[in-house]
């Protein structure tokens, strides 16, 4: 929620949802934009609507056209990334990740999509290289760090992967994605070491997510599974 006092002293307030939680009652009847599918924040037309809406001004025609072009390129690029992932074309994914157009350089979304596809194709080293460039450009973004940790875990580099997730956890990231992957690294580590403390750590993390988001059946099932195993 952002509030701004306009030129004539009138207040304007905007709401942007970054998750699927419901708006509080006082905001439910206001105009808002939903970015639940864009956890790294709004881009393109959505971002402009927030900025100019807070100023109480109409969107300039030139800005609208540019934002629409960015939105169209974002959608087109996601189609190309997912098509390359479906057919297992890692070279095409790496080629796309080198794009320097606005949709690619103003948001971490597209390169994260590429990295996720490379991880799915077991090209973890290439995914890590892509993610390092994203993390350098978008240092506060969470998704690149999540995927970096996942790629390291897939390479069985437990210590570095768990360092990333532990830092996210200590910074207050308790979303199901972060802690779910973090828990999975401990479970996979247990499969190699057979040390019960690793399994107990996985159980505790799954339980903490389930308590925070009771409707998440995946982590609830995993928490119960680890509890019985340990």
**pTM of model > 0.85:** no
Query: Which range among 70-79, 109-118, 199-208 has the greatest average pLDDT?
Result: 109-118
Q: Write out the two tokens for 206.
A: 């799954």
Which of 15-29, 56-70, 110-124, 125-139 comes out lowest in average pLDDT? 15-29
Distance CA 145, CA 43 (A): 20
Give yes or no for a contact between 17 and 36, defined as CB atoms under 8 angstroms apart: yes
CA atoms within 13 A on the CB side of 164: 25
109-137 mean pLDDT: 97
Is the pLDDT confidence value at 12 over 60? no
- Residues 130-173: pLDDT tens digits? 999 999 999 989 999 999 999 999 998 988 999 999 999 999 88
Distance CA 220, CA 2 (A): 35
Report the percentage of the chain scoring pLDDT > 70.
Answer: 64
Distance CA 61, CA 217 (A): 46
- For residue 175, what pLDDT is reported? 84
- Residues 168-195: pLDDT tens digits? 999 988 888 888 889 989 988 898 889 9
Q: Which residue has the tokens 């169209």?
A: 72
- Residues 49-97: pLDDT tens digits? 555 554 555 656 666 677 778 888 989 999 999 999 999 999 999 999 9
Is the pLDDT confidence value at 223 over 50? no
State phi, psi for 4 to the nearest 5 degrees. -140, 140
């Amino acid at each position: 929620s952002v509030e701004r006092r306009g030129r004539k002293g009138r207040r304007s307030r905007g709401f942007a949802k970054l998750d699927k939680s419901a708006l509080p009652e006082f905001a439910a009847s206001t105009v808002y934009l939903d970015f639940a599918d864009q956890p790294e924040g709004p881009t393109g037309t959505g971002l402009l609507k927030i900025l100019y809406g807070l100023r109480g001004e109409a969107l300039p025609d030139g800005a609208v056209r540019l934002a629409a072009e960015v939105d169209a390129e974002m959608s087109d690029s996601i189609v190309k990334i997912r098509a390359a992932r479906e057919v297992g074309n890692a070279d095409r994914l790496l080629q796309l990740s080198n794009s320097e157009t606005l949709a690619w350089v103003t948001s971490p979304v597209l390169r994260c999509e590429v990295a996720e596809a490379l991880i799915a194709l077991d090209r973890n080293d290439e995914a890590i290289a892509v993610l390092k460039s994203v993390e350098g450009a978008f240092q506060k973004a969470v998704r690149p760090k999540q995927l970096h940790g996942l790629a390291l875990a897939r390479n069985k580099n437990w210590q570095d992967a768990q360092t990333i997730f532990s830092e996210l956890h200590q910074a207050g990231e308790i979303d199901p994605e972060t802690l779910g992957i973090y828990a999975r690294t401990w479970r996979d580590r247990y499969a190699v070491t057979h040390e019960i403390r690793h399994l107990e750590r996985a159980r505790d993390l799954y339980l903490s997510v389930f308590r925070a988001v009771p409707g998440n059946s995946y982590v609830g099932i995993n928490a119960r599974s680890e509890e019985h195993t340990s």
